[in-house]
Chains A and B, each alone.
Chain A
Amino acid sequence: MRTKIILTALAICALTGFALEPGETELEHNGWYRYTNQSSALKLTDPTVSRFSLERGYLRFSHQWVPAFFTKMTVDIFSSDKYPEGATVRLKEAYADLSLPFVRDFNFTAGLQKHYFGLIYSWDYTHPEKELADEQGICASADYGLTVNGYLPSGLGELQLGIYNGEGYKYAGKYVNTSPEFLGNIRLTPFAGVALGFSVFTNSADAAHYKNDKKGRITEAGNIFYMNADTANTSRLALAPSLKLAFGPFSILGEYLGYSYTRKFSYYQINHDTSGNIVDSTLVQKQKDYQMTGLDLVPMITLAGRKIEVFGRFSMWNRREQSGDSMSLNKDKSFVRYGAGANYHFVRREKGKPGLIFQFAWTRTQPKNSELKPTDVLLAQVRFEWSTVITKLSL
């Protein structure tokens, strides 16, 4: 027979977690400290990879200039094995956002921004590894572009239409070609517990990676030099229907991926004599079609007042390559992956965002070539994320 009425006016937390007001700046930091153990068939004491890394070290600065104009910049300071210093800095986001006049809840965004494809932009790393399209290089999670993006009325969902470079945020300047990528993405939330999505992008050419890595490479066989010329993935087309179901503590997130392109490549065939003098040369041009399909599923249950998340993961990837007039499965590069893990949230930030989490996950990837051994990856990660709003002073 007791009644307890608790009154707590939470004025102190009043400034956190909302769209910024004019003159306000938000500073955010994400630090993901990870241990990775990768081995064949769970040889934990004899792994092929055993490393600690700062997987993500975001520093994010957002500023609301006026109600209709907002800018954001994110740099990622992360561990890297590529440099002797053991770390590097990468620009991850840098964009300006302008509210569209006469169209409620819609913005025009320009710059290095989210790439709204499939589950990439809503992937919150409940599973600490990357989403499949991102991992398999269908596209990057961010890219330079122009988008119109916003929310449909009555909570029906959201829509994004964009033109991007198509090369992703890792390539800029001379590595970016002139053919734009066109992207459309819709996410519908017709009723509680169901989110249906569909994304598509097309790009006539993406050459950055190959220009960067392979152009000019020379190999020799007998009396012939082969020198790589231009290589490009052309006629790129990707689509991704996606689904999220959420009922009480249970949810499942899934997407199907379809991706195809034609790789056009050319090389100089240079004939030389026994003294190495060039006799003649020919430019040889070839092309080959590729088709990929994938499936990514993450079922999850939240427990203990959302402190604990237990999740599974099932992924499938099929890579088909042109062989003569037919497409055949590249079994070495196709796989089935399954795994499980758990997260413990010590602290959550506003809007239910992660504050301090411990994450643990295991996945086994089995190539479709049964002669190849499966790869086991064990991840343990401490992830902390915080943000603060610097408010203009009242005088």
Chain B
Amino acid sequence: MKKTVSILAMLSTIILGAEVIVKGSDTMLNLTQRLAEAYSNVQPDVTVSISGGGSGVGINAIINREVDIANASRRIKSKEISAARANGVDPTEIVIALDGLSVIVNNKNPIKQLTVQQIGAIYRGEITNWNQVGGPNKKIVLYGRQPNSGTFVFFREEVVKGEYSSAMRQMNGNAQIVEGVKADEGGIGYVGLGYIKNVEGIKPLAVAKKVGENYISPTDEARVRSGDYPLTRPLYQYTNGRPKGIVREFILFELSPAGQKIVEEEGFVPVTQNYIERNNSILQE
């Protein structure tokens, strides 16, 4: 019976062509695009459609059965799980990579490190000049994401711990934040690790949980992987129930050595053993 279903699924893929629709996190957009491109070499009959819009957009799309996979750089909320279940959707979580959310400044800024508390105070608008944290007498210009972004939510919960300053410039995506900070000597921004790789004109700051603790750079992959870097976060994909068919095949590819190599090439960190085990328990047939 199982064999018959698999054969039928294979035949329908060959005859009709098949599509995996992915939507959500802007942080994960370039990464999943690369993964989809690579997957097309393995499974040329499968179309992978990817769009951004933010983690919230992706999660809403999976709740409303509009997509096969929702990309999210934050965890699904209790309210969203409840709405999904009431709609007959079982949001199932896979972690495909780790991110060291990076706080960036302009290359000309002499500041090299900050604590989480200092960054929070900067984004709440309590610290407004770089000389308040040991830098030059220059006004701080805040760059951040828009509210639909999982990164916006993660950064608010883990760092800002309050209200963002009304002076923060809300940018459409990570790339726009990088461009903004690159062009602004007083600028500070936060972006996914994948967006600082090989980019000139900006630099990531080393971050300590609090005064007296070690400052760790997000480029220190081992420390991001171990969770020592204070802004380490998993990057999620959500499906409706355990992934099946071509959706499962695509996710398995993302988690394969070839897929995880792309994760590294894109500047993110491959999943660790604990996530591998959790993913396996979900993906086993």
Binding site for B on A (CB under 8 A): 1-11, 13-15, 17-24, 66-67, 105, 151-158, 187, 189-195, 244-248, 251, 306, 350-352, 391-392, 394-395
Contacts and interface: CB of A to CB of B under 8 A. Distances in A.
A91 B114 CA distance: 51
Nearest to B43: A3
Given A24-B147, A189-B86, A192-B240, 16 more contacts: A1-B44, A4-B49, A7-B33, A10-B51, A11-B172, A11-B173, A151-B77, A153-B78, A155-B79, A155-B82, A191-B90, A192-B241, A246-B88, A248-B88, A306-B64, A306-B66
Contacts of A9: 26, 29, 51-53, 172-173
19 contacts: A1-B44, A5-B48, A5-B49, A6-B50, A9-B52, A10-B52, A14-B172, A20-B147, A21-B147, A21-B164, A24-B147, A67-B162, A156-B78, A187-B86, A192-B240, A246-B86, A306-B66, A350-B60, A394-B169
B147 A18 contact: yes
B82 A156 contact: yes
Contacts of A192: 84-85, 88-90, 240-241
Contacts of A18: 56, 147-148
A154 B76 CA distance: 10
B214 interface: no
Contacts of A154: 78, 81
Nearest to B142: A394
A211 B36 CA distance: 69
B172 to A, nearest CB: 4
A155 B53 contact: no
Interface residues of B, number: 56
B125 to A, nearest CB: 12
A251 B82 contact: no
A195 B170 contact: no
B46 interface: yes
Contacts of B91: 155
Interface of B: 17, 26, 29, 33, 36-37, 40, 44-54, 56-57, 60, 63-66, 76-82, 84-91, 146-149, 162-164, 166-170, 172-173, 240-241
Among the interface residues A18, A66, A395, which one has the most CB atoms of the partner chain B within 10 A?
A: A18
A105 B83 CA distance: 14
A23 B125 CA distance: 15
Nearest to A15: B146
B146 A5 contact: no
A86 B86 CA distance: 40
A352 B65 CA distance: 9
Contacts of A19: 147
Nearest to B23: A10
Contacts of A14: 53-54, 57, 146, 148-149, 172
A1 B66 CA distance: 25
A19 B65 CA distance: 21
B273 to A, nearest CB: 25
Sort A-B residue pairs by CB-CB distance and give the 5 closest, nearest first. Answer: A155-B81, A246-B88, A3-B40, A192-B90, A352-B64
A251 B81 CA distance: 18
Contacts of B64: 306, 351-352
A393 to B, nearest CB: 10
Contacts of B80: 155
Nearest to B170: A394
B44 A7 contact: no
Nearest to B19: A4
A186 to B, nearest CB: 12
